[in-house]
Amino acid sequence: MVLVTSSQNPEVKQYTALLRKKYRDRTGLIPLEGVRLIEEALKQQVEFTSVLYSEELLKRLQGRELLQTISIKQPEVRTINTAKGLLKETADTENPQGILAVVKKPEYHLNQVTESKNPFILVLSGVQDPGNLGSMIRTASAAHVSGVIVTRGTVDIYNPKTLRGTMGAIFQIPVVSIKDVESVINYLRDCDIKIMVTDLEGKISCFQTDFTAPTAVVFGSEAFGVSEELKIAADQSIKIPILGPVESLNVSVSAGVIVYEGIRQRHFSSF
């Protein structure tokens, strides 16, 4: 296969463009980087359009099997043998693993988040750090929650750093982006799902809160917390007890604590 060495190659140019949100929104495509993320996308039958790889880097990280599997499962995908230096230049990380891919965005709808018998949902409103968002989606998948709703002010769920932070979880559970907060509130109410907001001044500890009914837990901005609009709409305001001198926990850590308290109540209440 011909070795691509020019940054003007169409697939290389496309991948670079997709690192910016406006091109992702325009095309419905997203860039993936790294063996684990690409493996998970393939496992979940996400549709690939192209793959860039460096033979030299793949040898070192034993990524050849992944490349072969993509070619077998989706033979129409364009695979481009890319010079090591060019792939490093194209990738979003300093030490790429030797394989990049372009895939179609998975499409989910609100009804998929609420279709389970007893929904347990995360609503993320104003989470601005892509690493935090990725970690929260990963936690949601690990706990097998019903889904994640992302609202106004939250970083793009397909930001490359967010994608890497999910470690592939973005393809494992429904993650829906709805900018209109009011429509999310109304939808949850129509589904008889209790809305709980996390707040440093919350009225009740998360360990005294009942998560066994259909529930949506709202997490807000790292700097400002949950918006007043959501606080007013909430059925309950909850907090994590802070026993030491720190003022608060990282929002992704908070999500982990509360989600797993909910899972404990729902599945391990006998312990």
- Per the prediction, the chain carries an average pLDDT of 94
Confirm or reject CATH 3.40.1280.10 for domain 110-267, answering yes or no. yes
The fold adopted by the segment(s) 10-104 is 60s Ribosomal Protein L30; Chain: A; (3.30.1330)
Identical fold for domains 10-104 and 110-267, yes or no, is: no
The residue to which tokens 């077998």 are assigned: 72
> Which two three-digit tokens encode residue 20?
């910016």
**45-54, 62-71, 161-170, 171-180: least confidently modelled range:** 62-71
| Helix intervals (H) in the chain | 10-17, 21-27, 35-43, 55-61, 64-73, 84-90, 110-113, 130-142, 160-166, 181-190, 228-233, 251-267
pLDDT at 56 (0 to 100): 86
Q: What residue spans define the domains of the chain?
A: 10-104, 110-267
At 173, is the secondary structure helix, strand, or coil? coil
Query: pLDDT, tens digit, for every residue of 44-77?
Result: 999 999 999 998 888 766 678 899 999 999 999 9
The model carries a pTM of 0.93
pLDDT grade for 244, boundaries at 50, 70 and 90? very high
Chain position carrying tokens 């807000």: 220
In tens, the pLDDT along 76-114 reads: 999 999 999 999 999 999 999 999 999 999 999 999 999
- Judged by phi (left if over 0) then psi (alpha if -120 to 50, else beta), residue 34 lies in left
DSSP string, 4-25: B--TTSHHHHHHHHTTSHHHHH
